[in-house]
Amino acid sequence: MRMRDKVALVTGAGSGIGRATALRLAAEGARVACADVTAAAAAETVRAIEAAGGEALALTVDVTDERACAGMVERTLARWGRLTTLVNSAGVRPAARDAAPPPAEWQRVLDVNLSGTYLASRAAHAALAASGSGAITNLASIFGLVAGSISPSYAASKGGVVNLTRQMALNWAPAVRVNCVCPGVIETPMTAELRQDPAWREVILAKHPLGRFGRPEEVAAAILYLSSDEAAFVTGVALPVDGGYTAA
């Protein structure tokens, strides 16, 4: 098992990529703290892990709240005594693909996607460093690498995550490795409305050379690698998992 003896904390674990990641890490032997802003969603992920024979903890957390981030780390340490792995998967997309989003919407997206990634990482840093094999994997996006048919607030937040990843990788080496994945369009609840828009769907699908959208489990597989000791010499990487979208 690739995550045997690891203790992982996954934000946004209640659905989509976060849930798929929590399930995969648990299947590979990790004990997993499943944090989500929606208590019922976190609990559902925990039930799925436990039903498969794993060990998990449900946490209700708003990652924009500094105290809440500190609390989720404290509760994880209280349960298992250590923390080796953090996956920052909590995120939101704008309510609309607005070329000039209202300031409040701009701030909401940056608060969750970018500041939430920083606050969770900051809260977990000391425990990760103390573990001797600390690893953080952040969720960015193809729209953090290239521009496209998405709101400026989302692109700015994910571009920020990419460069925050690189900076933390430099600042926190060698004690903690920090990487990010940059998914293309993945079949999750967050993208459902966009994928159901016929005009948008056909345009964006054509930009994925593999001819389909991705699955959460495919992103989780990349996160598993970056979180595991197999990636012990990998830090500061922004890894596209995008069906070839950014290769064009």
Tell me which residues are annotated as active site: 154
Give the number of other CB atoms < 10 A from CB of residue 100.
9
Strands 134-139 and 238-241: unpaired
E-strand ranges in 92-244 read 134-139, 176-183, 238-241
Between CA 106 and CA 81 the distance in angstroms is 38
From CA 203, how far away is CA 16, in angstroms rounded? 23
Cα(14)–Cα(12) distance, rounded to whole angstroms?
Answer: 6
Buried b (16+ CB within 10 A) or exposed e, 135-151: bbbbbbbbbbbbebebb
Whether residue 236 contacts residue 178, with contact meaning beta carbons closer than 8 Å, is answered with yes
